[in-house]
């Protein structure tokens, strides 16, 4: 029986992983969150977004977690993420954690806080809303490429001194993904002014979202 059945009376008491055992695992039956095991990196990132994007929007601050691939003694592996650190201010914060035995750092995820930069311009003859909060910043991409801009010029490595995959949860309820080893074409995306790299196309749009995103909001999930 689900050990959280009393907390969620609207669910069946024997309802396992939302009836999706292909994509999800839940060895303990407890709530998802940091430290849980996920079959794919994307599943872990979606869970991170569900866990922290609402808090990020309500508190108007950024959250950031590192993601790991963990090898078991039997040769199997799973993905997980750590407790998020708070803060950011436009520059992705990669938490300072000691990597455990069997853990390999593979990605970082962060949130962008609330929608505080929505604007409307005439574009292609129509009034449209735009913002820079629903896409990776240039600084985010520099961090994930291990080439962070230094004050005074030049670049320096990120704190792990290696390229790393990145996720960002945005105020409009989207999750974005960047792989530094992939090549991305420039495309048009609603809400981003002009052409932008295709890594700004959401891979998931059911995270808690900010009502202040207005027409750019992807869903009506209350933060």
Among candidates 211, 217, 62, 55, which has minimal Cα distance to 134?
217
Residue 13 lies in a domain: no
Classify residue 176: in a domain, yes or no: yes
37 is in which domain, residue-wise? 32-216
Mean pLDDT, range 156-173, rounded to an integer: 94
Q: Percentage of the chain surpassing pLDDT 90?
A: 61
Global pTM? 0.83
Reply yes or no on whether the pLDDT at 208 is more than 60: yes
Q: Does residue 19 lie within any of the structural domains?
A: no
Per-residue pLDDT reduced to its tens digit, 42-65: 999 999 999 999 999 999 999 999
Q: Residue 124's pLDDT is what?
A: 76
Is residue 162 assigned to a domain?
A: yes
pLDDT tens digits, 81-140: 998 998 765 567 778 777 788 899 999 999 999 999 999 988 778 889 999 999 999 999
Q: E-assigned strands of the chain?
A: 63-71, 77-81, 85-86, 103-111, 119-123, 126-130, 148-149, 155-156, 165-169, 175-178, 186-188, 195-197
Per-residue pLDDT band for 4 (boundaries 50, 70, 90) equals low
In a domain, 132, yes or no: yes
- Check residue 140 and give its pLDDT: 93
What share of the chain has pLDDT > 70, as a percent? 85
**Overall domain count for the chain:** 1
Q: What is the model's pLDDT at position 115?
A: 96
Examine residue 212 and state whether it is found in any structural domain, yes or no.
yes
CA distances (Å), 176 to each of 54, 133, 173, in order?
Answer: 16, 12, 10
């Amino acid at each position: 029986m689900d050990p959280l059945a009393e907390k969620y009376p609207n669910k069946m008491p024997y309802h396992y992983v939302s009836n999706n055992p292909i994509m999800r695992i839940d060895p303990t039956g407890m709530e998802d969150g940091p430290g849980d095991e996920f079959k794919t990196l994307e599943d872990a990132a979606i869970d991170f977004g569900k866990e922290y994007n609402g808090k990020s929007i309500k508190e108007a601050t950024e959250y950031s977690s590192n993601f790991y691939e963990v090898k078991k003694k039997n040769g199997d592996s799973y993905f997980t993420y750590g407790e998020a650190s708070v803060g950011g201010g436009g520059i992705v914060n990669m938490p300072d954690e000691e990597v455990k035995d069997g853990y390999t750092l593979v990605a970082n995820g962060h949130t962008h806080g609330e929608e505080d930069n929505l604007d409307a311009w005439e574009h292609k003859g129509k009034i449209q809303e735009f913002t820079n909060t629903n896409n990776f910043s240039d600084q985010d991409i520099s961090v994930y490429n291990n080439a962070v801009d230094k004050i005074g010029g030049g670049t320096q490595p990120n704190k792990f001194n290696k390229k790393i995959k990145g996720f960002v949860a945005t105020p409009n309820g989207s999750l974005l993904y960047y792989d530094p080893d992939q090549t991305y074409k420039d495309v048009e995306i609603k809400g981003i002014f002009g052409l932008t790299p295709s890594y700004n196309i959401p891979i998931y749009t059911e995270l808690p979202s900010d009502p202040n995103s207005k027409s750019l909001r992807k869903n009506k999930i209350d933060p």
